[in-house]
Structure formats: C-alpha cells, structure tokens
Amino acid sequence: MSEQPAPAPVSVLAPATSPLPPGVAAVLKRDSSGLVAAVVQQFDTNEVLMLGWMDDEALHRTMTSGRVTFYSRSRQEYWRKGDTSGHVQWVKSVAVDCDGDALLVRVDQVGAACHTGTRTCFDGRALEVQAGPAL
C-alpha cells in the first residue's frame, strides 16, 4: 500500500482525551494529523522491517496489548499487524527518540513484515549511492 509522504512534525499537542500516560503524551511531537512515525525493528537481529504511523490511540494499543497497532493514513482507520495476513508483530519494547518525533518499536516478527510478502519493506529496494569511507 503506497502512502503519501508525511508532513513535517509540528508538535501537535496531545488530545485532551489521550489514553497515553501524561509523561508519554507530553514528549511526543505529532505531525499536523496527530501522527508519529514508528520504525519497526526485529528485536534480536536489529533488522529494520517497516515504517508505520501511530496516533495516541494506536500507541496506547501497542503499549498495552502486546501486538503492534498502526493508524492507516490512506484508510483513516486502525489496523493491527497480522490480523488479516497472520504475520503478527509481537511487541518487545517501544522507545521514543530524542526529539519526540519518532518511535522505535522492537518486535518479534512472524512471517513477512511487508504487505508485498517480503521479509522487510526494504528488501530489494536499495538505491545506488556513493558510499563514504569506513572509519
């Protein structure tokens, strides 16, 4: 599923009815739609699996259910990874970055993470770059 690029974070305040603990809700910098980018990583290999979007409710569900829930920008609804495909993401940990504008969700991925059926959303999609020297 192809999604539009996300607008830059604008530090939208937590909704008055945020289900998140106040300390968590206060540090998040949401975009103009109230969303935060969530990078999903395999917990034991550090493999980057995918990127999804979460609002306060999706993050709350992820933090309290043991399964990853995203908010679909294109469908404007919540979706829990694996409900239709069986490719479940079991939550191991969630961290917020230093700026509060991104999340790192470490998971145990069952099956493919990408909707195309590949292990990650980045398989076979490398761009040619001029690499810098190893230090």
What single DSSP character describes residue 57? Answer: H
The per-residue pLDDT for range 81-91, each reduced to its tens digit, is 999 999 999 99
pLDDT tens digits, one per residue of 9-30: 555 656 668 999 899 999 999 9
CB atoms within 10 A of CB 46: 8
Residue-wise pLDDT tens digits, 39-61: 999 999 999 999 999 999 999 99
Residue 2 reports pLDDT greater than 70: no
Q: Map tokens 């829990």 to a residue.
A: 80
Instruction: Specify the pairing of strand 102-109 against strand 36-42.
Output: parallel
The 10s digit of each residue's pLDDT in 89-120 is: 999 999 999 999 999 999 999 999 999 999 99
pTM of the full structure: 0.84
